[in-house]
Amino acid sequence: MKRGKNFRAPVGLGLAATGAISILLAVTATLPIAPASQDRDCGTPSIEGWRGLLLGQPLDLSRAKYVDLLSLPAVGPRTASSLIKNREMVASEPERLTEVPGIGKVKYLKLRGWFASSR
Protein backbone atom coordinates (compact mmCIF):
# COMPACT_ATOMS: atom_id res chain seq x y z
CA MET A 1 0.00 0.00 0.00
CA LYS A 2 1.41 3.35 -1.02
CA ARG A 3 1.62 6.04 1.58
CA GLY A 4 0.50 9.49 0.61
CA LYS A 5 2.05 12.78 1.52
CA ASN A 6 1.19 14.65 4.67
CA PHE A 7 -0.48 18.04 4.80
CA ARG A 8 -0.30 20.35 7.79
CA ALA A 9 -3.62 22.12 8.24
CA PRO A 10 -4.60 24.65 10.89
CA VAL A 11 -7.15 23.08 13.19
CA GLY A 12 -7.90 25.98 15.46
CA LEU A 13 -6.71 29.21 16.95
CA GLY A 14 -6.84 30.22 20.56
CA LEU A 15 -5.85 33.13 22.73
CA ALA A 16 -4.14 32.35 25.99
CA ALA A 17 -3.94 35.19 28.50
CA THR A 18 -1.64 34.97 31.48
CA GLY A 19 -1.51 38.14 33.53
CA ALA A 20 -0.60 41.05 31.28
CA ILE A 21 0.75 38.86 28.47
CA SER A 22 -1.48 37.45 25.74
CA ILE A 23 -0.24 34.73 23.43
CA LEU A 24 -1.90 33.67 20.20
CA LEU A 25 -1.76 29.90 19.88
CA ALA A 26 -2.12 28.13 16.55
CA VAL A 27 -2.80 24.42 16.66
CA THR A 28 -1.85 22.40 13.60
CA ALA A 29 -2.38 18.77 12.76
CA THR A 30 -0.59 16.58 10.26
CA LEU A 31 -3.21 15.13 7.94
CA PRO A 32 -2.44 12.16 5.69
CA ILE A 33 -3.25 12.73 2.04
CA ALA A 34 -4.35 9.71 0.05
CA PRO A 35 -2.60 9.35 -3.31
CA ALA A 36 -4.71 10.70 -6.16
CA SER A 37 -6.54 7.95 -8.03
CA GLN A 38 -5.53 7.26 -11.61
CA ASP A 39 -8.97 7.98 -13.08
CA ARG A 40 -8.99 11.62 -11.96
CA ASP A 41 -8.18 14.19 -14.58
CA CYS A 42 -6.42 16.54 -12.18
CA GLY A 43 -3.48 15.89 -9.90
CA THR A 44 -5.24 17.15 -6.76
CA PRO A 45 -4.79 14.81 -3.79
CA SER A 46 -7.95 13.41 -2.24
CA ILE A 47 -8.68 14.02 1.43
CA GLU A 48 -11.86 12.41 2.68
CA GLY A 49 -14.18 12.92 5.60
CA TRP A 50 -13.94 15.77 8.07
CA ARG A 51 -10.34 16.45 6.99
CA GLY A 52 -11.57 17.26 3.50
CA LEU A 53 -14.25 19.51 4.96
CA LEU A 54 -11.50 21.59 6.59
CA LEU A 55 -10.13 22.22 3.11
CA GLY A 56 -13.52 23.00 1.57
CA GLN A 57 -14.06 19.65 -0.14
CA PRO A 58 -17.61 18.25 -0.12
CA LEU A 59 -18.39 15.14 1.90
CA ASP A 60 -19.15 11.93 0.00
CA LEU A 61 -22.38 10.64 1.55
CA SER A 62 -21.86 7.08 0.34
CA ARG A 63 -18.64 6.77 2.40
CA ALA A 64 -19.15 9.32 5.19
CA LYS A 65 -18.65 8.11 8.75
CA TYR A 66 -20.71 9.14 11.76
CA VAL A 67 -17.94 11.48 12.99
CA ASP A 68 -17.70 13.09 9.54
CA LEU A 69 -21.42 13.84 9.55
CA LEU A 70 -21.23 15.34 13.04
CA SER A 71 -18.70 17.88 11.77
CA LEU A 72 -21.31 19.40 9.44
CA PRO A 73 -23.27 22.50 10.45
CA ALA A 74 -26.70 21.79 11.98
CA VAL A 75 -26.04 18.03 12.22
CA GLY A 76 -26.28 16.46 15.65
CA PRO A 77 -26.28 12.81 16.75
CA ARG A 78 -29.89 12.11 15.67
CA THR A 79 -29.50 13.68 12.24
CA ALA A 80 -26.18 11.89 11.67
CA SER A 81 -27.81 8.55 12.56
CA SER A 82 -30.73 9.30 10.21
CA LEU A 83 -28.33 10.14 7.39
CA ILE A 84 -26.46 6.87 7.88
CA LYS A 85 -29.72 4.86 7.93
CA ASN A 86 -30.86 6.58 4.71
CA ARG A 87 -27.42 6.64 3.09
CA GLU A 88 -28.40 4.74 -0.07
CA MET A 89 -31.31 7.05 -0.91
CA VAL A 90 -29.45 10.28 -0.18
CA ALA A 91 -26.14 9.26 -1.79
CA SER A 92 -27.80 8.53 -5.12
CA GLU A 93 -30.08 11.60 -5.01
CA PRO A 94 -28.83 14.34 -2.63
CA GLU A 95 -31.90 16.47 -3.38
CA ARG A 96 -33.92 13.91 -1.37
CA LEU A 97 -32.28 15.08 1.87
CA THR A 98 -35.60 16.56 3.01
CA GLU A 99 -37.04 13.02 3.17
CA VAL A 100 -34.54 12.07 5.90
CA PRO A 101 -36.08 12.33 9.40
CA GLY A 102 -34.71 15.42 11.14
CA ILE A 103 -33.93 17.37 7.97
CA GLY A 104 -36.46 19.99 6.97
CA LYS A 105 -36.23 22.77 4.40
CA VAL A 106 -34.10 25.06 6.57
CA LYS A 107 -31.57 22.36 7.46
CA TYR A 108 -31.52 21.23 3.82
CA LEU A 109 -30.58 24.75 2.74
CA LYS A 110 -27.72 24.74 5.27
CA LEU A 111 -26.44 21.32 4.17
CA ARG A 112 -26.94 21.13 0.41
CA GLY A 113 -23.52 22.53 -0.53
CA TRP A 114 -21.61 20.23 1.83
CA PHE A 115 -22.32 16.95 0.01
CA ALA A 116 -21.08 15.20 -3.09
CA SER A 117 -21.88 11.76 -4.42
CA SER A 118 -19.49 9.26 -5.96
CA ARG A 119 -22.38 7.35 -7.54
DSSP assignments along 54-94, one per residue: HTTPPEETTT--HHHHHTSTT--HHHHHHHHHTHHHHHH-G
Domain coordinates in residue numbering, the chain = 6-36+47-116
Compute the average pLDDT of residues 93-110.
87
Compute the average pLDDT of residues 105-116.
82
Label residue 78 by pLDDT band (50, 70, 90): very high
Residue 85: what are its φ and ψ, rounded to 5°? -65, -35
What pLDDT, on a 0 to 100 scale, did the predictor assign at position 81? Answer: 92
Label residue 58 by pLDDT band (50, 70, 90): confident
pTM: 0.53
